[in-house]
Amino acid sequence: MVALRQAWLLAVNDLRQEARDLELILTSSFFSLVVLIMLGMSFSALGVSSQPLAVPGMLWLSVAFVGALTLGRIFTREREFDTLRALLVAPVERVSIYLAKAFVTLVILLGCSFITVLGLTLLFPAAQPFAERPWATAALVLMGCTAYAGVGTLFAAGLASSSGKNVLLSVILYPLTMPSLLFALVATRSLLEGHESFTTYLGQLTATNVLAFVVGAWLFEPVLVGVPQKRSGTARAARRRR
């Protein structure tokens, strides 16, 4: 419970800072808009019959691009001011840091997805079900973005704590999030086509989310600070002393 309360404090703190300069929200949503326009221009000639096959891909590719940008930015900021280290030496559960950062990423991603979904609905007639079933769409976007935030936070934090190279973030992120995005893709397609299987797919997506978060939370501390060695190397030390 302490971990959850600390996570909440950290998340609120991050959002409060974000509210003061809106850097992440403005840059990420602008980028969403750019991606949306690029997609619109690339696929404007698409026939209505093939649109249900293309629109889900556009949505989740956009989330993938915007997500990588957002995660990179969130942790570059932490690194600029070295605040991650301050949290790591404070009496804060490490898992709380993970949960808080994942939550903030999720909030930003949801904002961006709102723009993307709205834009796709306006641009493509086949995307109308997004507007017709807003709650289903919201649940879908929430679950898809959660998967991305869960996996992404772990690796973005890991890269930020080493003197990392951010190019590696995309290298890691895209292959790893592909399964979740595939689930999201299938769910979106069934939503657009009005299949009942939508809820099943949504459930499966939720299950992968739970898995991603459990593994992510479990690995966060070992990846960021390592685990203290149980063997204190006495045999080696003795050998060295000779």
Partner 1 sequence: MKKILPIAFLGAAALIFPVSVKTIFLDTPIENQMGTVQKIFYFHVPLAWIMMLLAVVCGVAAGIQLRRDSKRAEAVSIAAAELVLVTGLGVLITGPIWGHATWGKAWTWDARQVSTGLLWLIFAAYVLVRHYGAAGSERLAAALAIFGAIDVPVIYYAVKIWKTTHPSNDVAGSLPASMWAALWPALIALLLTSIAVLLIRVQQELTDVTLDEAWVDLDDAGANKLEPTPAPTSGSGDA
Partner 2 sequence: MDATALLSLRDISKHFGRLSVLRGLDLDLRGGEIVGLIGANGAGKSTLLSIIAGLMPPSRGQRLFAGSEGVGRDERARFAVVSHTAQTYPRLTALENLELFAKLRAQAGCHSEPLLPTLDKLGLGYAADRQAGTFSRGMLQRLALARALLGKPEMLLLDEPFTALDRPGRTLLASVLAEERDRGAAILLISHDLEALVSVADRVVLLEQGVIAGAVPRAPDNDTFGPRVRELAGRMPAVRVEAEA
Residues that bind partner 1 (CB under 8 A): 151, 154-155, 158-159, 161-165, 168, 171-172, 174-176, 178-180, 182-183, 185-186, 189-190, 201, 204, 208, 211, 215, 219, 222-223, 226-227, 229-230, 240
Running DSSP on this structure, what letter comes out for residue 46?
-
CA distance 238 to 220: 34
CA distance 14 to 87: 13
- 185's contact among partner 1, partner 2, none, with CB below 5 to 8 A by partner kind, is partner 1
Determine if 167 is a binding residue for partner 2 (CB under 8 A).
no
E-state strands within the chain? none
Determine if 217 is a binding residue for partner 2 (CB under 8 A).
no
CB of 219 to partner 2, least distance (A): 16
CA distance 242 to 237: 9
Stretch that binds partner 2, among 80-88, 103-111, 116-124, 167-175 (CB under 8 A): 80-88
Closest CA to 213 of 152, 156, 159: 152
Non-local CB neighbours of 47 within 8 Å, separated by 6+ positions: none
Q: Which of 61, 93, 166, 211 binds partner 2 (CB under 8 A)?
A: 93
3-class DSSP state of 165: coil
Amino acid at 33: L
3-state secondary structure 79-103: HHCCHHHHHHHCCCCHHHHHHHHHH
CA distance 71 to 218: 19
Stretch that binds partner 2, among 43-51, 118-126, 202-210, 227-235 (CB under 8 A): 227-235
Q: How many contiguous H segments (helices) and E segments (strands) does the chain have?
A: 10, 0
- 81's contact among partner 1, partner 2, none, with CB below 5 to 8 A by partner kind, is partner 2
- 88's contact among partner 1, partner 2, none, with CB below 5 to 8 A by partner kind, is partner 2
Q: Residue for token digits 């086509």?
A: 193
Stretch that binds partner 2, among 4-12, 110-118, 174-182, 192-200 (CB under 8 A): 4-12
In order of 101, 188, 235, the CA distances from 11 in angstroms are: 7, 29, 45
Of 15-54, binders to partner 2 (CB under 8 A) are: 16-17, 20-21
What's the number of CA atoms in the CB half-sphere (13 Å) around residue 82? 3
CB of 150 to partner 2, least distance (A): 23
CB of 158 to partner 2, least distance (A): 14
- CB nearer to partner 1: pick between 122 and 207: 207
User: Which chain residues interact with partner 2 by CB under 8 A?
Assistant: 2, 5-6, 9-10, 13, 16-17, 20-21, 81-83, 85-86, 88-93, 225-229, 232-233, 236-237, 240
